[in-house]
Amino acid sequence: MSNLNDRNIIITGASGGIGRASALLFAKAGARVVLLDRDVPGIEETAGLVTGGGGKAYLIPCDITDEDAVSHAVNDVVKQFGRLHGAFNNAGVEHTNLPLHELSAAAWDRVLKIDLTGVFYCMKHQIRAMLESGGGSIVNTASALGTVAISAASDYVAAKHGVIGITKGAAVDYGTQNIRVNAIMPGIVETPMVARVSAEPHFAKQYQALRERHPIGRFGKPEEIAKAAIWLLSDDSSFVTGTALAVDGGYLSI
């Protein structure tokens, strides 16, 4: 596995799912993990798991839809640890689960604010810090739904397409300043988010069909996304920027 020795790395959405698995594996790969989430008991639990395994964790309660809170979080990392080497912008929420003509403006705004604007706030302040310290690597969690769609998920699909767009835009802007920016497109991964969504009647109908759409014959595990993120954050991917890497059990190949 690639190493992240002595890197200070922010993980958003670190209270559970892909974010928690990433915290544990990034710490094992040598990073100091900075855990951001609006779910404070959740990141306290993640921090306990990291330090219990001998890793280094620092937690910052933060709602990524609050730009001031995001800016303070990045400043805090620089103040405490000297610099920010990497970030995994992974926090997100699921779709509202309504067809577009039934989607309220408020529901649309909520999903877009967390899943896209929150990523913009994080990237903006992370890049600012990285420009001052010689560079870094940013990985955003998009989705296979950043390039295709499922039914009744236009809000989420639009946001995740946007995450891939902002990833490419930033890769172009900052490549010569030693800042690499990539995205991961997970297929369906067994996390609390998927447990919530699959409990909804509309999605329950699609669930079996979606499993069959993964040629590998199963859904993913959070650790399988974390391992791809480690590679993209590490120097082993030094010539990779602006890419959206599918980690999807073949979902996008069908």
Interface with ligand NAD (CB under 6 A): 12-13, 15-19, 37-39, 42, 63-65, 90-93, 114, 118, 141, 143, 186, 188-189, 191-194
Least Å from the CB of residue 50 to ligand NAD: 15
| Cα–Cα distance measured from residue 10 to residue 35, given in angstroms and rounded to the nearest whole number | 6
User: Which residue lies nearest ligand NAD, judged by its C-beta?
Assistant: 17
Question: In the complex with ligand NAD, which residue's Cβ is closer, 37 or 234?
Answer: 37
Name 75's bridge partners.
none
| Cα–Cα distance measured from residue 180 to residue 167, given in angstroms and rounded to the nearest whole number | 9
Least Å from the CB of residue 146 to ligand NAD: 8
Phi-psi region of 212 (alpha: psi -120 to 50; beta: other; left: phi over 0): alpha
Question: In the complex with ligand NAD, which residue's Cβ is closer, 198 or 239?
Answer: 198
Which amino acids are annotated catalytic? 156
Question: In the complex with ligand NAD, which residue's Cβ is closer, 178 or 206?
Answer: 206
Least Å from the CB of residue 240 to ligand NAD: 20
Least Å from the CB of residue 176 to ligand NAD: 29
Question: In the complex with ligand NAD, which residue's Cβ is closer, 62 or 171?
Answer: 62
